[in-house]
Amino acid sequence: MKSTEFHPGDYDGHGRLRLPFLFWCVLLLQARTWVLFVMAGASRGQGDTLLNLFYPDHDAFWLGLLPGVPAVLAFLCSGRRQVIPRLWAALRWLLILAQIALLCWQPVLWLYGEPLSGIGIALVVADIVALLWLLTNPRLRACFQPEKD
């Protein structure tokens, strides 16, 4: 049943609330290492150079894949969210935990000697905004609630 809280354009043809555009942006932000991994694989000869540019320490690359797992899982499950409502509801909290981990990740790297850079500061600011949005957006929260018949 459609709610009157949201604009009619926020619903798809089946009457389900659509995921906000910023949700997909947050998934890309969380899965940034996965995106780099796919880009490196697609660029064949320059993949190793690309990975070394962003991740000179290969251990940091492999650890960087971990917080992106919930984002990749959410992307894969988003089209079938009505079939797996319990998993889908739990994914919101996994995404929030992953965002907290990403938010703490960059300052930890700075403590262990990585130089302070504009990109690092921009990532921290983007992570803060994404975390606040994940916690406070009512439409996103409603998208993760099980449908009532």
- pLDDT digits (tens), the chain, 149 positions: 445 588 787 787 777 788 999 999 999 999 988 998 888 888 877 888 888 877 777 777 888 899 899 999 999 998 888 889 899 999 999 999 999 999 998 898 889 888 888 888 999 999 999 999 999 999 999 989 877 65
DSSP-assigned letter for residue 31:
T
The pTM of the full predicted model, rounded to 2 decimals, is 0.85
Q: What is the pLDDT of residue 4?
A: 57
Token digits for 118? 């504009």
Residue 60 confidence (pLDDT)? 78
Using CA of residue 68, residue 139, residue 81, residue 23, what is the dihedral sign?
Answer: negative
Question: By CB neighbour count within 10 A (0-12 exposed, 13-18 middle, 19+ buried), where does 114 fall?
Answer: middle
Look at residue 1 in the predicted model and tell me its pLDDT.
Answer: 46
Cβ-in-10-Å burial (0-12, 13-18, 19+) of 67 comes to buried
